[in-house]
Copies of this chain bind each other. A is one copy, B any other.
Amino acid sequence: MTSIGIVGAGVAGLHLGLQLRAADVPVTLYTDSGPDELASGRLTNTVTHHHPTLERERVLGVHHWDAAEYGYGSHHHVVGRRLLNGRALGGPDPLVFRGDLTDASSAIDHRIYLPRLLADFAERGGRCEVRGVGAGDLESLGERHDLLVVASGRGALAGLFPLRPERSPYDRPQRRLSVALWHGVEPAEPKGVTLSIAPGVGELLELPMYSFSGHVTALLFEIMPGGGLEALWNLRYDDDPRAYERAGLAALAEHFPRTFERVDPASFAVTRPQDVLQGALIPHMRADYACLGNGTYALAAGDVHCVVDPMMGQGANSASYSAWAVGEAILEELGGGGLGFDELFCRRAARRRAEVVEATADWTNLMLGPPPPHLLALLEAMSQHQGLADEFTHNFGHPDRQWAVLATPRRTARYLAAHGLDMADLLA
């Protein structure tokens, strides 16, 4: 009987494991952290789940946090002027506009979310082994299973999958990341994410999140090296929590006034010491699969396959999408007799997810770099046309559609023209 091994119990590993269990496929999940360890640990991320990801949860019967209650329906955009080369769009004030989601998104702390799904997985007959898996262990795991899905971005496992240089444009982090959960920030109205761009300084993602302290606010500072947020980066929360909090407040006051105006300085504080994460990453992409020494294939999913900057909130969604595509390919192969989980199979699974995963990386990387004119034109256009702002917001759940608009200046120009707008006018 076909058996699938999954290394990693993040959103990719769990969504895949649950999808396969729903079809009664034997699955063993290997994770280095058990549920208690995960729940009591440090903040892992502040990623939100967009509608397509929530829909997969609904199909799996693991949407335990009704998005109508826990989620939100809007993106508030604040785009500072003089974004690039002195190119100023319109007047001196920032562009401020809102886009509404067609369906709610929702951000549940993964330290709550993942243990609950791990319990669902076990209840549904999934096996889970809590153990560290190093590169040297993969071969012996490969002997137990017909296919290994490696869905753990950590440590040496990634080395199994060669870097794809043509999709790994950076040799250093593009931002330094400082994220924490906070009390004392009044939610935006209507409830939603606030995405603020401070040119030359960095970005702030403010997210309504549900965590151990209830409904809190995640503030993800994306810090440009050499910009005005360096002071925040230079403080380690653990060294001096109060100094970190003061620096956070000062950063909001100086660079992100639209969030600052909703802060109550008296109660503004990190929720718990473990609710802080500071670090950096280099966006990159790796090969989809590798053959282990004994002939078993290992398929990469999630961060081990593609690491994106968190700025566009895509990581967990891309991981879930990617894992789901792999799951569909597995079920299809089993439906056709399960003749082989070999290179032919891996190529098929890889093709199935390629467009969306690549678009996620391409779009995020575009937003990370100095904004090209066609992106500025789209931002300006969205500030004038609600329909465009809503579509851009909706497409946070559809990065392929986002990228279809932004991949080239010509695409953006045509998109704007189809809405009666002239790109040159918008940039004038």
Contacts and interface: CB of A to CB of B under 8 A. Distances in A.
A337 B407 contact: no
Contacts of A347: 355
A354 B350 CA distance: 12
Interface string A392-414: 00000000010111011011001
Contacts of A344: 403-404, 407-408, 411
Interface in A342-393: 342, 344, 347-348, 351, 354-355
Given A351-B354, A355-B348, A340 B418 contact: no
Contacts of A340: 404, 407-408, 410-411, 414
Contacts of A403: 344
A132 interface: no
Interface string A309-323: 000000000000000
Contacts of A1: none
Contact of A339 (B339, B342, B351, B414): B414
Interface in A297-318: none
A338 interface: yes
A336 B405 CA distance: 10
State the main secondary structure of chain A at its contact with B: helix
A338 B404 contact: no
B404 A336 contact: yes
Contacts of A404: 336, 339-340, 344
A268 interface: no
Nearest to A418: B337
A411 B339 contact: yes
Contacts of A418: 337
Nearest to A414: B339
Interface in A99-142: none
Nearest to A403: B344
A386 B418 CA distance: 57
- Chain copies in the assembled complex: 2
A336 B340 CA distance: 36
A397 to B, nearest CB: 16
A391 B410 CA distance: 48
Interface string A41-61: 000000000000000000000
A411 B354 contact: no
Interface in A188-208: none
B339 A405 contact: yes
A403 B340 CA distance: 12
A415 interface: yes
Contacts of A339: 404-405, 410-411, 414-415
Contacts of A336: 401, 404
Contacts of A355: 347-348, 351
Contacts of A401: 336
A414 B338 contact: yes
A409 to B, nearest CB: 10
Contacts of A411: 339-340, 342, 344
A403 B407 CA distance: 35
Contacts of A414: 337-340
A365 to B, nearest CB: 14
A2 to B, nearest CB: 10
Contacts of A351: 351, 354-355
Interface string A9-52: 00000000000000000000000000000000000000000000
- The listed residue with most B CB atoms (<10 A of its CB), out of A337, A339, A354, is A339
Interface of A: 336-340, 342, 344, 347-348, 351, 354-355, 401, 403-405, 407-408, 410-411, 414-415, 418
15 contacts: A336-B404, A338-B414, A339-B404, A339-B405, A339-B410, A339-B411, A339-B414, A339-B415, A340-B408, A340-B414, A342-B410, A344-B404, A344-B411, A347-B355, A348-B355
Instruction: Report the 8 A-B pairs with minimum CB-CB distance, sorted nearest first.
Output: A339-B411, A340-B411, A339-B414, A344-B407, A351-B351, A337-B418, A339-B415, A340-B410
